[in-house]
Amino acid sequence: MNQPAPTVSVAIVMGSQSDWPTMQLAHDILNELGVGSHCEVVSAHRTPKKMFDFAKSAAGRGFKVIIAGAGGAAHLPGMIASLTNLPVLGVPVKSRALQGLDSLLSIVQMPGGVPVGTLAIGESGAKNAGLLAARILALSDPELARRVEAYSETQTKDVLRRSKLAD
Ligand code: RP5
Any ligand 1 atom below 6 A from CB of 19: yes
pLDDT of residue 2 exceeding 70, the answer is no
HSE-CB for 30 with a 13 A CA cutoff: 28
Any ligand 1 atom below 6 A from CB of 93: yes
Q: What is the mean pLDDT of residues 49-66?
A: 98
Any ligand 1 atom below 6 A from CB of 70: yes
Domains assigned to the chain: 8-161 (3.40.50.1970)
Q: What is the mean pLDDT of residues 22-42?
A: 98
Identify the residue whose C-alpha is closest to ligand 1 atom 12.
Answer: 18
Q: What is the mean pLDDT of residues 24-36?
A: 98
Determine whether the annotation assigns residue 95 to a binding site: no
Any ligand 1 atom below 6 A from CB of 16: yes
Identify the residue whose C-alpha is closest to ligand 1 atom 14.
Answer: 15
Tell me phi and psi for residue 140, to 5 degrees. Answer: -120, 25
pLDDT of residue 137 exceeding 50, the answer is yes
Atom of ligand 1 nearest to the CA of 15: 4
Q: pTM for the full model?
A: 0.95
What is the ipTM, given to two decimal places?
0.97
Q: How far apart are CA 71 and CA 132, in angstroms?
A: 20
Determine whether the annotation assigns residue 16 to a binding site: yes
Determine whether the annotation assigns residue 46 to a binding site: yes
pLDDT of residue 3 exceeding 70, the answer is no
Q: How far apart are CA 91 and CA 97, in angstroms?
A: 17
